[in-house]
Amino acid sequence: MPKVALVMGSESDLSVLTPAISTLKRFGVELVVRVLSAHRTPAAAAEFAKTAEEQGIEVIIAAAGKAAHLPGVLAAYTVLPVIGVPVQSSALDGMDALLSIVQMPTGIPVATVAINGAQNAALLATQILSVRYSALRGALRGHRASMTAQVEESDKRVAQEVSSIE
Ligand code: RP5
Protein backbone atom coordinates (compact mmCIF):
# COMPACT_ATOMS: atom_id res chain seq x y z
CA MET A 1 0.00 0.00 0.00
CA PRO A 2 1.39 3.46 -0.87
CA LYS A 3 2.41 5.46 2.18
CA VAL A 4 2.70 9.21 2.71
CA ALA A 5 3.79 11.16 5.77
CA LEU A 6 2.04 14.42 6.51
CA VAL A 7 4.08 16.48 8.93
CA MET A 8 2.94 19.78 10.40
CA GLY A 9 4.94 22.28 12.41
CA SER A 10 2.14 22.87 14.90
CA GLU A 11 -1.27 21.49 15.78
CA SER A 12 -2.58 24.92 14.71
CA ASP A 13 -1.77 23.91 11.09
CA LEU A 14 -4.18 20.95 11.14
CA SER A 15 -7.26 22.72 9.77
CA VAL A 16 -5.31 23.79 6.65
CA LEU A 17 -4.29 20.17 6.07
CA THR A 18 -7.72 18.58 6.33
CA PRO A 19 -8.28 18.65 2.52
CA ALA A 20 -4.98 16.81 2.02
CA ILE A 21 -5.93 14.17 4.57
CA SER A 22 -9.33 13.51 2.99
CA THR A 23 -7.85 13.47 -0.53
CA LEU A 24 -5.15 10.95 0.39
CA LYS A 25 -7.67 8.76 2.23
CA ARG A 26 -9.95 8.88 -0.83
CA PHE A 27 -7.09 7.57 -3.01
CA GLY A 28 -6.44 4.75 -0.52
CA VAL A 29 -3.03 6.08 0.50
CA GLU A 30 -1.81 5.06 3.95
CA LEU A 31 -1.07 8.10 6.08
CA VAL A 32 1.36 8.81 8.87
CA VAL A 33 0.47 12.16 10.45
CA ARG A 34 2.93 13.85 12.81
CA VAL A 35 3.38 17.18 14.57
CA LEU A 36 7.10 17.92 14.50
CA SER A 37 8.76 21.29 14.73
CA ALA A 38 12.08 22.22 13.15
CA HIS A 39 12.77 24.64 15.99
CA ARG A 40 10.78 23.28 18.98
CA THR A 41 11.57 19.57 18.44
CA PRO A 42 14.58 19.65 16.07
CA ALA A 43 15.99 16.27 17.17
CA ALA A 44 12.65 14.50 16.71
CA ALA A 45 12.14 16.13 13.30
CA ALA A 46 15.61 15.01 12.17
CA GLU A 47 15.10 11.49 13.54
CA PHE A 48 11.75 11.22 11.76
CA ALA A 49 13.25 12.21 8.40
CA LYS A 50 16.31 9.96 8.85
CA THR A 51 14.09 6.93 9.51
CA ALA A 52 11.27 7.78 7.08
CA GLU A 53 12.46 5.25 4.48
CA GLU A 54 12.65 2.47 7.09
CA GLN A 55 9.08 3.35 8.07
CA GLY A 56 8.01 2.59 4.50
CA ILE A 57 7.20 6.23 3.77
CA GLU A 58 7.54 7.12 0.07
CA VAL A 59 6.63 10.82 -0.04
CA ILE A 60 6.64 13.47 2.70
CA ILE A 61 4.27 16.43 2.79
CA ALA A 62 5.49 19.05 5.25
CA ALA A 63 3.43 22.07 6.24
CA ALA A 64 4.57 25.05 8.22
CA GLY A 65 3.88 28.72 8.70
CA LYS A 66 6.00 31.80 9.42
CA ALA A 67 9.75 31.06 8.87
CA ALA A 68 8.66 27.57 7.69
CA HIS A 69 11.98 25.77 7.69
CA LEU A 70 10.38 22.38 8.48
CA PRO A 71 10.12 21.11 4.86
CA GLY A 72 13.72 22.07 4.10
CA VAL A 73 15.04 20.53 7.32
CA LEU A 74 13.21 17.24 6.66
CA ALA A 75 14.46 17.27 3.05
CA ALA A 76 18.02 17.68 4.31
CA TYR A 77 17.80 14.34 6.15
CA THR A 78 16.20 12.19 3.44
CA VAL A 79 16.28 11.62 -0.31
CA LEU A 80 12.53 10.96 -0.36
CA PRO A 81 10.58 13.65 -2.22
CA VAL A 82 9.35 16.41 0.08
CA ILE A 83 6.38 18.62 -0.81
CA GLY A 84 6.10 21.83 1.20
CA VAL A 85 2.83 23.53 2.07
CA PRO A 86 3.25 27.16 3.14
CA VAL A 87 0.67 27.84 5.87
CA GLN A 88 -1.03 31.22 6.21
CA SER A 89 -0.51 31.68 9.95
CA SER A 90 1.31 34.98 10.23
CA ALA A 91 0.95 38.74 9.99
CA LEU A 92 2.55 38.37 6.52
CA ASP A 93 -0.36 36.23 5.25
CA GLY A 94 1.80 33.22 4.43
CA MET A 95 4.20 35.06 2.10
CA ASP A 96 6.97 34.45 4.65
CA ALA A 97 6.27 30.69 4.62
CA LEU A 98 5.95 30.60 0.83
CA LEU A 99 9.32 32.24 0.28
CA SER A 100 11.02 30.16 2.98
CA ILE A 101 9.87 26.96 1.31
CA VAL A 102 10.16 27.83 -2.38
CA GLN A 103 13.58 29.48 -2.09
CA MET A 104 15.48 26.38 -1.00
CA PRO A 105 19.16 26.67 -1.82
CA THR A 106 20.53 24.47 -4.63
CA GLY A 107 21.00 20.83 -3.75
CA ILE A 108 18.04 20.19 -1.44
CA PRO A 109 14.82 20.67 -3.40
CA VAL A 110 11.39 21.02 -1.85
CA ALA A 111 8.43 20.94 -4.24
CA THR A 112 6.26 23.87 -3.20
CA VAL A 113 2.50 24.30 -3.58
CA ALA A 114 0.41 27.44 -3.07
CA ILE A 115 -0.16 29.05 0.31
CA ASN A 116 -2.59 26.69 2.11
CA GLY A 117 -2.49 24.50 -1.04
CA ALA A 118 -2.84 21.27 0.90
CA GLN A 119 -5.06 19.52 -1.61
CA ASN A 120 -2.58 20.07 -4.43
CA ALA A 121 0.15 18.67 -2.16
CA ALA A 122 -1.94 15.52 -1.72
CA LEU A 123 -2.59 15.28 -5.47
CA LEU A 124 1.09 15.79 -6.29
CA ALA A 125 2.07 13.14 -3.73
CA THR A 126 -0.44 10.76 -5.33
CA GLN A 127 0.97 11.52 -8.79
CA ILE A 128 4.49 10.75 -7.55
CA LEU A 129 3.27 7.48 -6.03
CA SER A 130 1.44 6.61 -9.24
CA VAL A 131 4.79 6.06 -10.99
CA ARG A 132 5.05 2.91 -8.85
CA TYR A 133 1.38 2.14 -8.13
CA SER A 134 -0.36 2.09 -11.51
CA ALA A 135 -3.86 1.83 -9.97
CA LEU A 136 -3.38 5.37 -8.72
CA ARG A 137 -3.02 6.60 -12.30
CA GLY A 138 -6.54 5.39 -13.07
CA ALA A 139 -7.85 6.98 -9.87
CA LEU A 140 -6.17 10.28 -10.74
CA ARG A 141 -7.70 10.21 -14.24
CA GLY A 142 -11.09 9.56 -12.63
CA HIS A 143 -10.59 12.56 -10.35
CA ARG A 144 -9.77 14.78 -13.33
CA ALA A 145 -12.83 13.49 -15.20
CA SER A 146 -15.07 14.40 -12.25
CA MET A 147 -13.60 17.93 -12.19
CA THR A 148 -14.29 18.23 -15.92
CA ALA A 149 -17.90 17.11 -15.40
CA GLN A 150 -18.33 19.69 -12.63
CA VAL A 151 -17.09 22.53 -14.83
CA GLU A 152 -19.33 21.40 -17.70
CA GLU A 153 -22.31 21.45 -15.33
CA SER A 154 -21.33 24.92 -14.09
CA ASP A 155 -21.06 26.10 -17.70
CA LYS A 156 -24.62 24.94 -18.44
CA ARG A 157 -26.00 26.32 -15.15
CA VAL A 158 -24.40 29.73 -15.67
CA ALA A 159 -25.63 29.88 -19.29
CA GLN A 160 -29.18 29.18 -18.02
CA GLU A 161 -28.92 31.78 -15.25
CA VAL A 162 -27.56 34.38 -17.67
CA SER A 163 -30.35 33.74 -20.18
CA SER A 164 -32.93 34.48 -17.45
CA ILE A 165 -31.34 37.85 -16.54
CA GLU A 166 -33.32 40.74 -18.01
C1 RP5 B 1 5.04 27.29 12.62
O2 RP5 B 1 4.62 28.42 13.31
C3 RP5 B 1 3.87 26.37 12.55
O4 RP5 B 1 3.92 25.60 11.39
C5 RP5 B 1 2.68 27.28 12.57
O6 RP5 B 1 2.16 27.54 11.26
C7 RP5 B 1 3.24 28.57 13.14
C8 RP5 B 1 2.59 28.95 14.43
O9 RP5 B 1 2.69 27.89 15.35
P10 RP5 B 1 1.97 27.97 16.77
O11 RP5 B 1 2.57 29.14 17.49
O12 RP5 B 1 0.49 28.14 16.50
O13 RP5 B 1 2.26 26.65 17.43
O14 RP5 B 1 6.09 26.66 13.30
Give the per-residue pLDDT at 147: 97
State in Å: Cα 73 to ligand 1 middle.
Answer: 15
What pLDDT, on the 0 to 100 scale, is given for residue 120?
Answer: 98
* pTM exceeds 0.85: yes
| Residue 89, ligand 1, Cβ within 6 A | yes
- What's the pLDDT at 67? 95
For residue 41, the CA-to-ligand 1 centroid distance in Å is 12
Residue 155: per-residue pLDDT: 98
Question: Which pLDDT score is estimated for 17?
Answer: 98
Nearest Cα neighbor of 70 from 32, 106, 41, 50 is 41
Residues of the chain under the 70 pLDDT cut: none
pLDDT at 124: 98
